[in-house]
Amino acid sequence: AKESDGTSESPSLQRAKATENSKDLKIPGFSEKKRQDI
């Protein structure tokens, strides 16, 4: 079940990463906080 979720989240994660990168440029430090969460 976990593996299935990971595959489904793959595209979502890619999108989140792109959003984080964009936000990181506007709000430096935000990405760092998210990275620590992971």
Q: What percent of the chain has pLDDT over 90?
A: 0
Question: What is residue 16's predicted lDDT score, i.e. its pLDDT?
Answer: 78
Calculate the average pLDDT of the chain.
Answer: 66
Greatest CA separation for the chain: 36
Q: Rounded to an integer, what distance in angstroms lies between the CA atom of residue 2 and that of residue 22?
A: 29
Identity at 8, one-letter amino acid code? S
Which structure tokens are listed for 14? 């890619």
Identity at 5, one-letter amino acid code? D
15 or 26: whose pLDDT is higher? 15
pTM: 0.30
3-class secondary-structure state, position 36: helix
User: 25-35: per-residue pLDDT in tens?
Assistant: 666 666 566 66
Which structure tokens are listed for 35? 């990275």
Contact 20, 34 (CB under 8 A): yes
